[in-house]
């Protein structure tokens, strides 16, 4: 396949972390060579949006947890704090009063 003979991949592959080698092997084993490589390329594209350390930590977690898809790696990146976005509270919004739970007694026939 062209992936293995692409000069940028060949050069990078010599120095990329062992976890990427393991992930590529896992993807190819579980998805077949063609689909596994395509899905692995999706993981490599995460380097555009995340720091190298974040991607590699997510890949290591994926390997430790037997995850075999780029969607699983993306999930780890997003939900383990890979993106550091602070969402400000909506302090100008009014708060709601506490709910009146007594209305639910009527459902069970209790008055």
CB atoms within 10 A of CB 75: 16
Q: Where are the domains of the chain?
A: 2-84
pTM beyond 0.75 = no
CB atoms within 10 A of CB 77: 22
> Mind listing the pLDDT tens digit of every residue in the chain (111 residues)?
688 778 888 888 888 899 999 999 999 999 999 999 999 999 999 999 999 999 999 999 999 999 999 999 999 998 876 544 556 667 777 777 888 888 777 776 655
């Amino acid at each position: 396949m062209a992936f293995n003979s692409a000069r940028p991949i060949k050069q990078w592959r010599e120095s990329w972390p062992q976890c990427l080698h393991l992930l590529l092997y896992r993807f190819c084993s579980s998805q077949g060579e063609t689909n596994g490589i395509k899905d692995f390329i999706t993981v490599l594209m995460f380097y555009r949006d995340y720091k190298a350390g974040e991607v590699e930590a997510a890949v290591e977690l994926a390997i430790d947890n037997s995850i075999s898809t780029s969607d699983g790696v993306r999930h780890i990146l997003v939900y383990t704090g890979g993106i550091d976005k602070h969402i400000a509270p909506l302090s100008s919004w009014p708060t709601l009063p506490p709910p009146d739970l007594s209305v639910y007694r009527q459902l069970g026939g209790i008055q």
